[in-house]
């Protein structure tokens, strides 16, 4: 008997989480795995290029929801995914990843149709309910049948919320599987040279959190900080569409054009991006995934946020939460080699997808 498994892919950070799973499941004679792209991210450089890098096929179903307010996006995803489950292909297991709007939306659709749902990257908590992702994490974990976690802090958060141990399984960090899967391509990419950068002689910047980029005054402070620090070490800034829109709206975009030391680029695909990260001296970011990737690669990561749902990247890794006015001092510290090296957390080993495949076989009694 073949079991239908759905993998939900919605936004950029999801793609590197579903790819290793797809590759581990595809070709197994006991399952039929389908990728459902909700279309939350739709630009080629936020979606198609990354699919290609990760050797993923065209999505089996594309919901094409696009942007919009949270309610619009969640509503559209729920309606479209419900139609797939009811009329086209009912899965025996839905796997949702991460914390984006589509994660919570699809989990709700499936649980109400009595379809079993697993959440990969369960249990992460920033404790900050002003973050839309925190609401998505809470909602998703509350209703999922299986909670697959990356780290002990996640297990503990779930237990504290009353989830029984039987539902919680520590599987490790799936992002590291993607990195290992593509490591030879990443190693031969040499992205820094394409931007005129030399190994260890530049920093990489990404910023897209509403809490950083939606407030014009804070956005200006952050941009001023980047310009100031770029005089100490060249910075390459991959500008997310939300950030670019806000920079343009607040007349800041023109101010940062043509600077020699602050190189602005469009979002780039997974392989060139990881090639840039791998050889960087430091990273400045508010991303979730990059906090983990830098811990894995032992690269200093200055996270411009008040909190993180990934505390293990601080306690064991190379991450540090930094307030905007602390950025300059922290950049100085890194340049003076005054930073703490980390260790790779347990089970961040490139084999998470294999462990999950075995867990699913057990669930289906294969």
Please state the three-class secondary structure of 52-118 as a single string: HHCCCCCCCEECCCCCCCHHHHHHHHHHHHHHHHHHHCCCCEEEEECCCHHHHHHHHHHHHCCCEEE
Rounded to a whole number, what is the largest CA-CA distance in the chain?
Answer: 62
Q: How far is the CB of 44 from ligand UD1 (least distance, A)?
A: 8
| Known active-site residue 208 | yes
- 242 counts as binding ligand UD1 under rule CB under 6 A: yes
- CA distances from residue 111 to 104, 125, 195, 234 in whole angstroms, order as listed: 11, 22, 47, 48
Cβ proximity to ligand UD1: between 91 and 267 the closer is: 267
Closest among 97, 147, 173 to 347, alpha carbons compared: 173
The span of 154-162, 186-194, 237-245, 293-301 binding ligand UD1 (CB under 6 A) equals 237-245
Residue range at the interface with ligand UD1 (CB under 6 A); choices 77-85, 241-249, 257-265, 268-276: 241-249
Of all residues in the shown chain, the one whose CB is closest to ligand UD1 is 67
Distance separating alpha carbons of residues 107 and 101, to the nearest angstrom: 10
Q: Is 42 in the site for ligand UD1 (CB under 6 A)?
A: yes
> Site size for ligand UD1, by CB under 6 A?
20
Site string for ligand UD1, 69-108 (x = CB under 6 A): ------------------------------xxx-------
241 forms part of the interface with ligand UD1 (CB under 6 A)? yes
Of 176 and 239, the one with the shorter C-beta distance to ligand UD1 is: 239
**Rounded Cα gap, residues 66 and 76, in angstroms:** 9
Rounded least distance, CB 300 to ligand UD1, Å: 21
Residue placing its CB nearer to ligand UD1 in the complex, 133 or 189 = 133
Residue 118: CB partners within 8 Å, gap ≥ 6?
93, 94, 95, 96, 144, 145, 146, 147, 148
Supply the residues annotated as catalytic: 208
Binding site for ligand UD1 (CB under 6 A): 11-13, 40-43, 46-47, 67, 99-101, 132-133, 208, 240-242, 245
């Amino acid at each position: 008997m073949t079991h239908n498994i759905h993998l939900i892919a919605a936004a950029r950070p999801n793609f590197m989480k579903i790819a290793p799973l797809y590759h581990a499941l595809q070709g197994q004679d006991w399952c039929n795995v389908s990728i459902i792209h909700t279309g939350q991210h739709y630009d080629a450089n936020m979606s198609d290029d990354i699919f290609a890098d990760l050797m993923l096929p065209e999505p089996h179903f594309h919901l094409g929801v696009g942007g919009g307010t949270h309610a619009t996006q969640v509503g559209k995803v729920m309606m479209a995914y419900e139609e797939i489950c009811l009329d086209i292909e009912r899965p025996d297991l839905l796997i949702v990843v991460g914390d984006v709007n589509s994660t919570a939306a699809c989990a709700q659709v499936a649980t109400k149709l009595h379809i079993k749902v697993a959440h990969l990257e369960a249990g992460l908590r920033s404790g900050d309910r002003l973050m839309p992702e925190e609401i998505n994490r809470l909602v998703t974990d509350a209703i999922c049948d299986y909670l697959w976690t990356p780290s002990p802090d996640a297990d503990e958060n779930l237990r504290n919320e009353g989830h029984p141990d039987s539902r919680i399984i520590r599987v490790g960090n799936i992002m590291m599987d993607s990195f290992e899967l593509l490591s030879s391509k990443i190693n031969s990419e040499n992205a820094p040279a394409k931007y005129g950068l030399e190994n260890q002689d530049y920093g990489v910047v990404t910023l897209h959190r509403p809490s950083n980029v939606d407030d014009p005054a804070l956005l200006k402070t952050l941009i001023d900080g980047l310009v100031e620090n770029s005089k100490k070490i060249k910075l390459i800034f991959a500008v997310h569409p939300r950030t670019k829109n806000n920079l343009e709206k607040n007349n800041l975009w023109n101010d940062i054009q043509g600077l020699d030391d602050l190189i602005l680029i469009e979002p780039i695909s997974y392989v060139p991006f990881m090639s840039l990260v791998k050889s960087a001296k430091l990273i400045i970011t508010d991303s979730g995934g990059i906090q983990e990737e830098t811990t894995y690669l032992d690269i200093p990561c200055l996270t411009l946020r008040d909190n993180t749902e990934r505390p293990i990247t601080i306690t064991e890794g190379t991450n540090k939460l930094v307030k905007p006015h602390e950025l300059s001092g922290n950049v100085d510290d890194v340049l003076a080699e005054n930073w703490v090296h980390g260790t790779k957390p347990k089970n961040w080993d490139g084999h998470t997808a294999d462990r999950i495949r075995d867990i699913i076989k057990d669930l289906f009694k294969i």
